Amino acid sequence: MDVQFPIYSPEHEIYDPLFEEKNLRVFIKRDDMIHPFISGNKWRKLKLHIEQAKSQGINQLVTFGGAWSNHILATAAAGAQFQLKTYAFIRGEEVSNPVLSMCKLFGMQLHFVDRESYRNKEALFQQAFPAQEAWFIDEGGRSDLGIEGCVSIYEELKNTYQHIILAAGTGTTAAGLLKAIQSQSNDTQLHVVPVLKLGDSLANDFKTWGLASKNLYLHADYHFGGYAKTKPELLAFIQSFVSKTGIMIEPVYTGKMMYGLYDLIKKDQFKPGSHILAIHTGGLTGFLGMYEQFGALPGI
């Protein structure tokens, strides 16, 4: 069975008086429009895993994540679409929420594990599936296959950009873009906004993947306290951006990335006349776990 489906991820220009003041043109690649649930970089990181599993006659995907994981939901939806069973180890105590309910709706089996056991994902997988009857996908889709799948983001671009910026968790998507940029031997600068503390450590991961630091800029000061952490200024920025552009972003990934982009522009980090592309990596269901925080904002 073919695991292709049409990719719709246009490049939209967005406008702001700040961009005009700094003589910059800013665009956003809408990977969030690829699929309602297998959106953004999730499909790109899963595609080659699904192809490999099906080619080897394996009919079950096994993966890992937290209770609000977009990757878990995307895996569940992809499994349903391509007739594969799905199973997920969920970090932490058993809970119920809208994301996990959707996963179950797509037919995914969920198994909650304590945080200590969760650290050894390979052991969990081998204990539950000793006969190699399932396909292992690491948390967030982190893998060489995931990196290769994300190369396609760059290959699809319709225009030329001096700068590309995106959020990073595992760094898989950023690694795919960096690999594509360096293979073309061009001068495009890749700006990565880690959403976890100690995001500078991603530089070592890129080295492990055989990628040079050329073309790479890590901006590790926009995590707002760590993964899924926020501050009032981030929430206010997201509300302003969404209301002015009609483009939905959320506090875990894309909100931090866009906040970082605006801040870098204010600080004159980009040469006038530059064209900048922001990658919308989807993950909009992340808003569901944090919507109450927006209730305290004026006008909401």
Active site residue 243: no
Furthest C-alpha separation in the chain: 61
Name the residue among 73, 215, 208 with its Cα closest to residue 143.
Answer: 208
User: What distance in Å separates the CA atoms of residue 83 and residue 60, rounded to the nearest whole number?
Assistant: 9
Q: Which two tokens stand for residue 77?
A: 């939806």
Task: List beta partners, residue 132.
Answer: none
| Cα 146 to the center of its chain, rounded Å | 11
User: What distance in Å separates the CA atoms of residue 32 and residue 248, rounded to the nearest whole number?
Assistant: 9
- Amino acid sitting at position 43: W
User: What distance in Å separates the CA atoms of residue 263 and residue 285, rounded to the nearest whole number?
Assistant: 25
Three-class secondary structure of residue 217 per DSSP: strand
User: What distance in Å separates the CA atoms of residue 180 and residue 151, rounded to the nearest whole number?
Assistant: 6
Q: Of the listed 69, 96, 183, 243, which one is catalytic?
A: 69
Catalytic annotation, residues: 69
